[in-house]
Amino acid sequence: MQTEQQQTKMKVLIVFAHPDKQSLNHSLLEVTTNYLKEKNHEVKVTDLYAQNFKAGVDGDDFLNHEQGKRLFLMRDGGSAYNEGKLSPDIMEEQAKLDWADLVIFQFPMWWYSMPALMKGWIDRVLTQNFSYTGEKMFETAPLAGKKAFIISTVGVPKESYSKGKLGSIGEVFFPIQHGTFELIGFKVLEPIIGYSADSRYSNCFEITSKAIKERIDNIDTIEPMKAQSSYN
């Protein structure tokens, strides 16, 4: 057994999206941040609504892009990255990702996915050459080896996903956990889901806080999952 003193000190980036500071999600963000600090990990938070993060990638993101010239988003992003000509807000986020050992994506599940502002962060920050190249994806990607997991909340109980018409959590998060995290080489840990988040009769906050603290305590020993649609 590992003692607390022996635990690796981590650099943790939390990418967060919720518009309301009074939300359950914001309370959970505080739990995560405080507990990480209590355990002497370093924490940086990207609060997308608070930063008023731009969601739509376009030619303005590439400072070396000639106005009016046809856009080839993947290549243009890759060349702007190589030349240090990405928009400053993108470069700032890339620096945080370079710095981090662990990236936590926290968001309420909206329409089987992340809020649009977080998708904008994915679309804009994970440029070619920074997070992948034509040859370097999955295990050989530039950011390979960093850990990542999702903390999310859903309005319905767990049974709605594992047994219901909605599908499995693995199916819901496949584009994020496989098509994004695994594709850029992240080791993906099981998502932490707060169920029945919308019901005032639920104890979602307590249950999810406990799961978050356990995850942080066990972060050195927990095995990465393989992100599959069949995961419940």
User: Which residues lie near a copy of itself (CB under 8 A)?
Assistant: 19-20, 22-23, 48-49, 55-59, 70-74, 108, 110-117, 119-120, 122-123, 126, 138, 155, 165-167, 171-172, 174-176, 178-180, 198, 229
CB of 220 vs a copy of itself, minimal distance in Å: 28
Burial environment of residue 113 by CB neighbours within 10 A (0 to 12, 13 to 18, 19 or more)? middle
The one-letter amino acid at 57: V
Quick check: helix, strand or coil at residue 113? strand
Closer residue to a copy of itself (CB): 149 or 174: 174
Cβ neighbours of residue 77 closer than 8 Å, sequence gap 6 or more: 57, 61, 62, 86, 127, 128, 129
Asked whether the beta carbons of 46 and 77 are under 8 A apart, the reply is no
- Nearest approach, Cβ of residue 101 and a copy of itself (Å): 22
CB of 65 to a copy of itself, least distance (A): 10
Tokens of 10: 């981590």
Please report, in angstroms and rounded to a whole number, the separation of the first and last CA atoms in the chain.
Answer: 29
Q: How far is the CB of 113 from a copy of itself (least distance, A)?
A: 5
Q: Which residues does residue 152 pair with via DSSP β-bridges, in sequence order?
A: 107, 193
Answer whether 89's CB lies under 8 Å from 62's CB.
no
* Least distance CB 75 / a copy of itself (angstroms): 8
Q: Residue 114 Cβ, how far from a copy of itself at the closest point, in Å?
A: 8
Instruction: Specify the amino acid at residue 152.
Output: S
178 vs 213, beta carbon nearer a copy of itself? 178
Tokens for 54, please give them: 């731009």
Instruction: Give min distance, CB of 174 to a copy of itself, in A.
Output: 5
What is the spatial distance between Cα 214 and Cα 31, in angstroms, rounded to a whole number? 12
Q: Give the Å distances, CA to CA, from 91 to 36, 98, 113, 127, 189.
A: 25, 10, 25, 10, 26
